[in-house]
Amino acid sequence: MTIGTSEQRAVGVPVRAQAPTPARARGRTRLGRTLLVAALVLVPAVTMTAGRASAVGGATAADRTDAARLKARFPVAGLGSGRVGTVVDVGSGRTVWSSAAGTGRMPASAEKLATAEAALTVLGPGHTEQTRTRYHAGTLYLVGGGDQVLTAGGLKTLAAATAKALKQRGLKVTALRVDDSLFPAPTAATTPPGWQRGYYPLEVAPVRALGLGGARVNDTALAAGKLFAQQLAAAGVRLPSSGAPKRGTAPDASVALASHTSAPLSRIVEHMLKVSDNNAAEGLLRLTALGRGKAATWKEGSAVVRSVLAGYRVPLAGVRIYDGSGLSRSDRMTASALVALAALAVDPRYAARLRPVYAGLPVAGRDGTLAAGMHRFSTRPSSCAAGKVHAKTGSLHDADALVGVTLGKDGRWKAFAFVTNGDVPATRARQGLDGLAATVTGCW
């Protein structure tokens, strides 16, 4: 069992509650900007001058202590023989400690860090998507724009605006079609390698360009169309009894009626990382491909992600990417690559672009997939690190990961990546991962 959407259920954060309805969108967007500015002010910047000096002078006393403790604790942390890990001082780039850091492992949902950073780089934090309605010869088209966190409320507002436009133009609707053609239809040929048949629809829905966030159905577009038809009826637009939604592509000659704007990408990334939303991650992978003028497929999206990571000088030897969520059992990430992704989240050179990654990382013992209610950082010895560690979790039935950042005892940013693959009880593995992260903070 993967956690992805099951993580969302345990966290108790329904996806549909994350994206604002249009009536609230502007306020939430302003809130997002406020949070971003606050993060830039409150999160200590990496002191590059101190980092260079430290790099010349060698490891700090805190780093030497951490390295000695990790050397002793890592082998007995309950992670099994498939364990790998590394810790890096972000300012200097110096490795504090590592073990098999170049060995590829299934990263599970920790791979979402790569998806998030690629999407923010290609599309920009303020990027939004549009869900539109168009009309042609009696047929109304609901056109998906790739918004993976579209809410029922947002769809209702779009229905009301559409009904108003139809009335103003004196247009009669005889049929409703859903247009999700922005993404290729999900088939066996378009499914990422390494995805198991049992993933659908609870862990991830077949990837489409139209659907309600969190919808756990095999055809998210038709499900959204059915709800939209009900909302249209409530707004005074009644379809014929034979007018149940079907799939269809809006012709070029169709007329635009209304649109709904998604939350900004910064907010979607924060949500996706905080609750480990598989559907959002897969949608972002395909939108990232489109942003580079490529086809909206896992293959093209993964190629763009690799290109972006290479631009950040993330080491890619041993890295294999087949999706955006980390569900693929063919995915491989090294601890060296993962720690580089974590370091980017607090690198001041990329703050304007990548700060939503830091904002979206679950906080130890506080929220998201690291909430105390999920038994993370809630007991000794790791409880001393509650509120201090910001990290992305990852979990498959035989893989666990914790990748993130924290301020070390020396007041400097440390990035860490700990991953294990193999038949290790999840509870024991996660307790071990939390303890190692606490070691990096210097509180244990």
| Position 242 confidence tier, pLDDT thresholds 50, 70, 90 | low
pLDDT at 204: 96
Q: Are residues 322 and 256 in the same domain?
A: no
Count of Cβ atoms closer than 10 Å to residue 172 Cβ = 9
CB distance 360 to 369 below 8 Å: no
pLDDT higher than threshold 80 for residue 16: no
Distance CA 395, CA 384 (A): 23
Q: Is residue 35 one of the residues assigned to a domain?
A: no
Counted domains in the chain: 2
Let me know whether 100 and 74 are in one domain: yes
Q: Is 214 contained in some domain?
A: yes
pLDDT of residue 239: 87
Q: Is 144 in the same domain as 200?
A: yes
**Residue 144: which domain range?**
130-262
Cα separations in angstroms, 60 against 55, 83, 184, 275: 9, 26, 52, 35
The domain boundary residue, chosen from 215, 240, 262: 262
Q: Does 350 score more than 70 pLDDT?
A: yes
Q: Is the pLDDT of residue 44 over 80?
A: no
pLDDT at 22: 32
Q: Are residues 223 and 80 in the same domain?
A: no
Asked if pLDDT for residue 3 goes beyond 80, the answer is: no
Q: Within a domain: residue 38?
A: no
344 and 294 housed in the same domain: yes
Residue at 294 is within a domain: yes
Residue 32, pLDDT > 60, answer no
The pLDDT value given to residue 37 = 36
- How many angstroms separate the CA atoms of 7 and 385, rounded? 21
- pLDDT digit string (tens) for 302-317? 999 999 999 999 999 9
Average pLDDT rounded to a whole number, residues 49-55: 33
Would 88 be classed as within a structural domain?
A: yes
Question: Do 235 and 357 fall within a single domain?
Answer: no
Same-domain check for residues 161 and 74: no
- The label of the residue with tokens 């086809």 reads 295
Based on the domain organization, do 236 and 348 belong to the same domain? no
Q: Look up tokens 């609901």; give the residue.
A: 142
- The CATH number given to whatever domain includes residue 331 is 3.40.710.10
**Least confident piece of the model among 32-46, 100-114, 117-131, 147-161:** 32-46
Of 245, 262, 279, the domain-final residue: 262
Q: What is the pLDDT of residue 311?
A: 98
pLDDT of residue 238: 86
Q: Determine the average pLDDT of the residues in 255-262.
A: 98
Q: What is the pTM of this model?
A: 0.88
For the segment 12-39, the average pLDDT, to the nearest whole number, is 35
394 and 435, same domain (yes or no): yes
Integer Cα distance of 131 and 385 in angstroms: 42
* Residue 421 in domain: yes
pLDDT in tens, 175-225: 999 999 999 999 999 999 999 989 999 999 999 999 999 899 999 999 999
- Domain harbouring 179, CATH code: 3.50.80.20
Residue 11 has pLDDT above 90, yes or no: no
What 3 state SS string does 260-320 have?
EECCCHHHHHHHHHHHCCHHHHHHHHHHHHHHCCCCCCHHHHHHHHHHHHHHCCCCCCCCE
How crowded is residue 186: how many other Cβ atoms within 10 Å of its Cβ?
18
Mean pLDDT calculated for residue range 311-338: 98
If asked whether residues 252 and 318 sit together in one domain, one would say no
Same domain, 272 and 408: yes
Q: How confident is the model at residue 244 (pLDDT cuts 50, 70, 90)?
A: confident
Is 15 domain-assigned? no
Mean pLDDT for all residues in the chain: 89
Same-domain check for residues 380 and 327: yes
Percent of the chain with pLDDT over 90: 84
The residue out of 247, 262, 277 marking a domain boundary is 262
**Domain for residue 26, yes or no?**
no
Average pLDDT over residues 159-164: 98
